[in-house]
Every structure is written in C-alpha cells, then in structure tokens.
Amino acid sequence: MEKPIDLVLHPTRLRIIIALAGRKMTAQQLAEKLGDVPPATLYRHLNRLTAAGILDLAAERRVRGTLEKVYTLGRQGGFMNAQEFAALSREDHLRYFTTFVASLLDDFSRYIKRAEPLDPLNDGVGYQKFPLELSDEEFAEMVKGINAAIVPYLNNQPAPGRKRRIFATIVTPAEENKPSPDEPAQEIDQKDGNLKEE
C-alpha cells in the first residue's frame, strides 16, 4: 500500500495541497488556480488524495444538475509526524527531499515566467544560505522564535491586499570545516545579510 507521504510528494499533488492549505476550493477553482494542469489529470489526483484521506470533502452541492465537490485538507494533510519522519530510511529521505526541492524549483520557475514586470525585491522574493554556529539549546531557541513569528499568520484567509507566499525552510547540519589560521574570518552584516571579511 502506498504511504500517504508518497502520495503527497508528487509535483502536481503537492501543488494541490499547497493551494488548499487554509482554504476550501472546488475542482473548478483549483483548475483556475493550477491553470497548466489538465482537468482530467486534476480530477484523477483529487480522487487519489481524497481516497487516501489526505483531502476531505467539506461540502457537496448541486450546480446546474452536476454535483460539485468542495475540497479541504484532511486533519494531517498527508504530512508526517515526528515518529514517521525519524523512521525514514536514507533512501526515503533523499527521495522526499529531492521532490521537495523540485517543488520549490517549480514554484520559482513559474514565478519567473509569469512575473511582469520581473521585480523580485518588490515581490518579496529572497533566497539565502547562512552557516550558523549554534549549540543544541541555541538552535532550539532559534526554531522556537521562527515558529512563534510564523504561527500567527498560518490561518490568514485571502483578503484584499494579501498575496499567497511560499515560505520554505531547510535545515541541515554542516560538515565540520574549521578555517585555517591564515584564512580571514567572515561575519554576516546584520543589516543586509551579506558576508563581510574581517
């Protein structure tokens, strides 16, 4: 039997789930949102996600003689809990991470192609990578702070002036590379996030 996470980590199904996060939508609304997904493909993925319990039917209504279904995310939305995540094999982690990164590339590629004019600064687009020297306690405190900053906005509903934005996080331990004594130390400028040499 296919695991829920395997169902979720498919590029089109992942886009459906992200589109439904915090929302209820009909297949027609999803088709408009995911304009490049053919209707037959969309319905096939909706049926699979619903059968697996990843999506729930929030309502069914008759519209011009046709039964229209309103979809919402199920309780877990197909995502793993901490125990399931910890039990993954190395191969599973690589496969799931590859799909996750591919979905980010797909999101970014679609943004670059549709943005007119292309104005990443004004659109709030950014991508950065910072090496941080943290104890386990400092890391836990940092994660707690990030979560505290994000959680109040998770249930925001669409409204005038709001744009849906993708906020993704990736954290990995770095290889232990100690700088040689003759290499200049590098600091992050806290104002603009750029590296500066001492």
What is the rounded average pLDDT of the residues 168-183? 75
Residue 82 clears pLDDT 90, i.e. is over it: no
User: How many Å apart are CA 69 and CA 53, to the nearest integer?
Assistant: 15
Tell me the domains of the chain and their CATH numbers: 4-153 (1.10.10.10)
pTM: 0.64
CB 74 within 8 A of CB 55: yes
Above 70 in pLDDT, residue 129? yes
Q: What 3-state DSSP class applies to 110? A: helix
Q: What value does the mean pLDDT of the chain take?
A: 85
Question: Tens digits of per-residue pLDDT, 4-26?
Answer: 777 887 889 989 988 888 789 99
C-alpha span between 15 and 34 (Å, rounded):
8
Q: What is the pLDDT of residue 198?
A: 46
